[in-house]
Amino acid sequence: MRIVKEGETRTLLCHNCGKTSATYRMRDVDFSDKRGTVKNILAAVCDRCDEVAAIPAQSNARIKEVFEQSSSSLEVRVPAHYLDILYIATQKIDATLNENFNKVLILWYLHALTNGRYPQQKLKSFLSSDMANAKASRRLSMKITNRQQAELNQLMLGQGMKKTSDVVKAVILKIHQDLVLEQDLSGLPELRNMAAAIA
Ligand SMILES: [Zn+2]
């Protein structure tokens, strides 16, 4: 990889101007999906239209890091009893935890389902269970990283669900079965360790 310096020039193809000269300058660059910005990286800026025309290879590692760590908010409308499920499950893990742990619990299950600790196959069927249906009158919102977003997408596509919010709902219904109905308490020791570490 040839390392470039601020102020160097090169010739390239600009998407606005065609073949042109560009100068390496410090710029804040948005991700193509607009979910974040990488600040102060060297970019080849077109000398005619002043837009970023290319990103040198040396900037890619920082872009990747910022992209994976950047977060977006996930909003899911859920029936009120879903929040009760999360609260009761959280109290079984550690009675001193508050509702902030809800998100941790959901994300732990999401990861455990993605990495094969729990089977994914039954997830979708939870959504048509009797426990699933009620007016979705409450809002659950949480910050998730792009890596967690990727896990959500992977589960959604793998299990034939249409929305990431359905994945979150199915995960909550699995938490109901596992921890509230106590049909699978195998995750409890690890959840208790995690609760102790972050409380
Ligand atoms: Zn240009």
Contact (CB, 8 A) for 56 and 4:
yes
- The pLDDT tens digits for 7-47 are 999 999 999 999 999 999 999 998 776 667 899 999 999 99
- Whether the predicted pLDDT of 199 surpasses 70: no
Residues 48, 125, single domain; the answer is no
Residues 43, 92, single domain; the answer is no
Residues 89, 180, single domain; the answer is yes
Residue 191 lies in a domain: yes
Amino acid at 34: K
The residues with which 78 forms a beta bridge, in sequence order, are: 138
Residues 85, 173, single domain; the answer is yes
Overall number of domains in the chain: 2
Residues 49, 81, single domain; the answer is no
- The pLDDT tens digits for 62-80 are 888 887 777 888 999 999 9
Residue 59 lies in a domain: no
List the domain range (segments joined by +) for residue 38: 6-54
pLDDT of 72 reads 82
Average pLDDT over residues 110-132: 92
Contact (CB, 8 A) for 111 and 187:
no
Average pLDDT over residues 116-127: 92
pLDDT of 30 reads 85
Cα dihedral: 155, 156, 157, 162 (round 10): 170
Count of residues for the chain?
Answer: 199
Distance 67 CA to ligand 1 centre (A): 26
pLDDT of 63 reads 85
Distance 58 CA to ligand 1 centre (A): 22
Q: Is the dihedral of CA 190, 191, 196, 199 positive or negative?
A: positive
- The pLDDT tens digits for 44-61 are 999 999 999 999 999 988
Distance 38 CA to ligand 1 centre (A): 21
Contact (CB, 8 A) for 24 and 42:
yes
Ligand 1 ion: nearby residues, β-carbon < 5 Å? 14, 16-17, 46, 48-49
pLDDT of 146 reads 83
Is this prediction's pTM over 0.75?
Answer: no
- The pLDDT tens digits for 142-177 are 989 888 998 999 999 999 999 989 999 999 999 999
- The pLDDT tens digits for 80-89 are 999 999 999 9
Distance 37 CA to ligand 1 centre (A): 21
Residues 97, 35, single domain; the answer is no
Residues 109, 179, single domain; the answer is yes
pLDDT of 198 reads 81
Least confident range from 55-69, 110-124, 131-145: namely 55-69
DSSP the chain: -PPP-TT-EEEEEETTTEEEEEEEEEEEEE-TTSS-EEEEEEEEEETTT-SEEE--GGGHHHHHHHHHH-EEEEEEEE-HHHHHHHHHHHHHH-TT--TTHHHHHHHHHHHHHHTTSS-STTHHHHTTSGGG-S---EEEEEEEEHHHHHHHHHHHHHTT-S-HHHHHHHHHHHHIIIIIS-S--TTHHHHHHHHHHH-
